[in-house]
Structure 1
Amino acid sequence: MTDATATMTFHPRPEPGPAKPWDFPAPERSTLPNGVTVLRCHRPGQQVVAVEVLLDSPLSAEPEGLDGVATIMARAFSEGTDRHTAEGFAAELERCGATMDAHADHPGVRVSLEVPASRLESGLALLADALRSPAFPDDEVERLVANRLDEIPHELANPGRRAAIALYAELFPADQRISRPRQGTSETVARIDAAAVRAFYQAQVRPAGTTLVVVGDLSGIDLDRALRDTVGAWSGEPAKPEPAPTIIADDQARVLIVDRPGSVQTQLLIGRIGTDRHDRAWPAQVLGTYCLGGTLTSRLDRVLREEKGYTYGVRAFGQVLRSTSEGVGASVLAITGSVATEVTGPALADTWRVLRTLAEEGLTDEEREAAVQYLVGVAPLKYETAASVASTLADQVEQFLPDDFQSQVYLRLTEVGTVEATTAVVRAFPPERLVAVLVGDAAKITESVEKLGIGPVRVIS
């Protein structure tokens, strides 16, 4: 030992201090004269402002036989306006350092803009042009349709995506839009042209019923004037609201095998219909689902990954569907992962065993505490960017939730007890009410799956 080492002083490791109070940012609400609802949220230091636009254009409003027209419309918003060609619009976005994206989902169409705070008004002007007077040029729509048709085979070749398509088709009646792919099929997308896109826009997109969320550092910005001169100048008669259809689902236990001959893995997607965020038990369900399959230390991972080595990971989650203004909605609750073909049967058997053991023995206090510490503790990091806050506020509007919903969820998570979390997750994933979709080699996995007795087995190509 050297003299220098001998004289070193070792101090005790610092202990973590008390957690600082944190609440999800609260927005300020207002309404523009043209009927656009505005939620603004000042976030000091966030020099990139995030804007989310919610258009009341649900997929259920798509004309029969034109599934995917909402997606093509959303993508075409940035392909030119009455003032700019597609190239000119892209150049103007680049000039003000902005990015714009859009997508269609069951509740409606979302348009997202991120722009430096110093160029916010310029970004809002471009956004307003896209909403107010999109050109939907024939050649650009044709290109977008061709791109979408090229994407579909790749999606069907992806086992995870193929499983999701099959599960939704299995859970929901064929005449419900929610049972079919959100972005359409090859048959429906091929029918879409610029005239169909323009007709859908004219029928569905109006300022009244639209919500605009603005989050970022708004210091020194006259946001009222900027909105009045841009999005506020958008005019149009209110459209007739599209009523949200009642969600009907069949989650009688059964197994659907999507045959992929030669596959060395089986993609698992096990799901059912469940409650959504309007249910008071939602926080307990979130907590229990995290304990079941939200992390590498969850129940499912401990058995299927650590003990048995069947998989690299299994996850459990809840996917919220469309809600109504009366607070009626649903979610798809699911377990997903992939396993080697030869252990498909054993992996399913162990999954059902985990679920039955959970119902019999319940969660432990240690599991509950670890889940709370993570879910609540990660929130300040999860919502560190303006875009993450804006997206969550937009989600709450889409689902007809109060503006303080997210804060209340985190408060409830700290209050949920172990028994309550157990009850919620057991109710969410009852083994006798699960539809299992398996994408794999049917010749090699069907027999072992049938022997499990978890439900009738059907094979499709």
Structure 2
Amino acid sequence: MEFHPRPEAGEPRPWAFPAPERTALANGLTVLRCHRPGQQVVAVEVLLDSPLDAEPEGLDGVATIMARAFSEGTDKHTAEEFAAELERCGATLDTMADHPGVRVSLEVPASRLPKALGLLADALRAPAFDDGEIERLVRNRLDEIPHEMANPARRAAKELSRQLFPAESRTSRPRQGTEETVAAIDSAAVRAFYEKHVRPGTATVVVVGDLTGTDLDALLADTLGAWTGGAATPHTMPRTTADDSGRVVIVDRPGAVQTQLLIGRVGPDRHESVWPAQVLGTYCLGGTLTSRLDRVLREEKGYTYGVRAFAQVLRSAAPDPASGVQGAAMLAISGSVDTESTGPALDDLWKVLRSLAAEGLTDEERDVAVQNLVGVAPLKFETAASVAGTLADQVEQQLPDDYQARLYRAYAETGTVEATTAVVRAFPVDRLVTVLVGDAARIEEPVRALGIGEVSVVTGG
């Protein structure tokens, strides 16, 4: 039997994360553009300076409802007509509200970009916020909440935020609101939030794709340039504080056959010089199937299908010693184990963390992490959407436009000792908040016996 010859690898070519061009429209809207020849699906990201901590008291979730309502009709189209117009363009429009603000994401074939940008501009310029549509979105959100509370991973995440941050901080509460706060939202509340926080002068649009033959300046002026709004200053970020004193919280789920683990604390964000080493060390700890946590808990002991360690930026800002304002990243370890293995798995997990401090990472672990993080970058940023999303992250986190390119160089230059020091400081064994979602009657005593922190039990809720 004859097979086709094996494909041969081509010559390696230099690669760097693409640098955007930064301009502004007459209405104050900041524009980042990145021409990517061959990318015939153009990605557009709009960042709105409407963070969750700007939501009025008692209306947590109004930013989410507003974001979802952007595609539910404008002054020109009903909700059904708007959806049909998007479909005719072959476009998709997604929205998301998070701690830094609201994002509106558009993907469309380059040939249909003018029409799709017009629809996007209408959605931002004159959203309908129809009473009936807002009521439907509120009902949908209320239906989602019980499902989220029933999901062990989502329940653990909510509890960890509640434990880490003070009750008065918006970061401590569910991002998309609770049943009580969402039920209080109506079209008047949505419109009031929109009018106060959504305007072009504090917004940014990122456009990435093949822009050959496209007069983007004229196109943006005719679409998003028609969006008007009063002058505004960017929202001021409140100070971030967190309590990471070592403790264990069990969210009781009687009869659960598995225990969901979420272990975390708050640490440096991307503005800190330690970030590259922290990411590298965290990757060695639990970033892939060959990491230390997986090697012990999955391969050697068979406790779990996988455990991951990660650093997730919650809100980012350059540190300001005068005000105490700083960014925050969640440093966490997550996974699930069968109920009977909860105690032994946690015991071995703590042993892995202690071994990092005692023995350090190896050069081989560091080299593998660098190869994985840096080597896959050209594939990771193959699409326009991935580039646009990363550029939007940089804007949202108040980072320079060349940050991502410099970050990959920093990974390659970070040594084993630096990565070890960073990950040990990121996950100190006595300063971790451990949330366990599982059967308290079966796991409480084995966990208490470990001595990894005071243990408390809360209802599954």
Give the shorter-chain TM-score range: over 0.9
Question: What TM-score results when the alignment is normalised by the length of structure 1?
Answer: 0.96
Cα displacement (A) at 1:324: 2.8
Q: Which amino acid aligns with 2:313?
A: V
Query: Within 2, Cα distance between the matches of 1:17 and 1:226?
Result: 39
Query: Within 1, Cα distance between the matches of 2:8 and 2:378?
Result: 20
Q: Render the CA deviation track for 1:129-162: whole Å, top value 9, x for unaligned.
A: 0000001000000000000000000000000000
What corresponds to 1:8 in structure 2?
A: none
What corresponds to 1:278 in structure 2?
A: 271
Q: Render the CA deviation track for 1:277-327: whole Å, top value 9, x for unaligned.
A: 011111111111010000111000000001110000000001101123557
The SS at the match of 1:72 is helix
Query: Within 2, Cα distance between the matches of 1:413 and 1:305?
Result: 27
The SS at the match of 1:431 is coil
Q: Which structure 1 residue ranges, 5 or more long, are not aligned?
A: 6-10
Q: Which amino acid aligns with 1:453?
A: G
What corresponds to 2:213 in structure 1?
A: 220
Do the aligned residues in 2 keep the contact of 1:244 with 1:323 (CA within 8 Å)?
Answer: no
Cα displacement (A) at 1:20: 2.2
The SS at the match of 1:432 is coil
What corresponds to 1:404 in structure 2?
A: 402
The SS at the match of 2:65 is helix
Cα displacement (A) at 1:241: 3.0
Describe how 1:345-424 pairs up with structure 2 within 5 A.
345-424=343-422
Describe how 1:116-131 pairs up with structure 2 within 5 A.
116-131=109-124
Q: Which amino acid aligns with 1:345?
A: G
The SS at the match of 1:44 is coil
> 2:21 matched to 1:21?
no
Structure 1 pair 308/79, CA: closer, same or farther in 2 (3 Å)?
same
Task: Specify which of 325, 338, 341 is matched with residue 339 of structure 2.
Answer: 341
Stretches of 4+ moved more than 3 A in 1?
A: 13-19
Query: Within 1, Cα distance between the matches of 2:362 and 2:291?
Result: 12
Question: What TM-score results when the alignment is normalised by the length of structure 2?
Answer: 0.96
Query: Within 1, Cα distance between the matches of 2:344 and 2:315?
Result: 35
> 2:36 matched to 1:43?
yes
The SS at the match of 1:262 is coil
Bigger radius of gyration among the two: 1
Do the aligned residues in 2 keep the contact of 1:163 with 1:267 (CA within 8 Å)?
Answer: yes
Task: Specify which of 296, 307, 327 is matched with residue 303 of structure 1.
Answer: 296
> 2:437 matched to 1:439?
yes
The SS at the match of 2:240 is coil
The SS at the match of 1:270 is strand
Do the aligned residues in 1 keep the contact of 2:270 with 2:316 (CA within 8 Å)?
Answer: no
Cα displacement (A) at 1:15: 8.5
Query: Within 2, Cα distance between the matches of 1:187 and 1:350?
Result: 40
What corresponds to 2:128 in structure 1?
A: 135
Do the aligned residues in 2 keep the contact of 1:205 with 1:239 (CA within 8 Å)?
Answer: no
What corresponds to 1:239 in structure 2?
A: 232
What corresponds to 2:66 in structure 1?
A: 73
Query: Within 2, Cα distance between the matches of 1:402 and 1:25?
Result: 13
Do the aligned residues in 1 keep the contact of 2:246 with 2:431 (CA within 8 Å)?
Answer: yes
Q: Render the CA deviation track for 1:22-46: whole Å, top value 9, x for unaligned.
A: 1001100000010000000000000
The SS at the match of 2:450 is coil
How many aligned residue pairs are there?
453
Query: Within 1, Cα distance between the matches of 2:29 and 2:289?
Result: 44
Do the aligned residues in 1 keep the contact of 2:271 with 2:318 (CA within 8 Å)?
Answer: no
Task: Specify which of 230, 244, 255 is matched with residue 248 of structure 2.
Answer: 255
Q: Which amino acid aligns with 2:279?
A: V
What corresponds to 2:452 in structure 1?
A: 454
Q: Cα RMSD between the aligned structures? A: 1.6
Q: Which structure 2 residue ranges, 5 or more long, are not aligned?
A: 321-325
Query: Within 1, Cα distance between the matches of 2:318 and 2:30?
Result: 16
What is the percent sequence identity of the aligned residues? 75
Cα displacement (A) at 1:357: 0.4
Task: Specify which of 169, 174, 186 is matched with residue 181 of structure 1.
Answer: 174
Structure 1 pair 17/358, CA: closer, same or farther in 2 (3 Å)?
farther
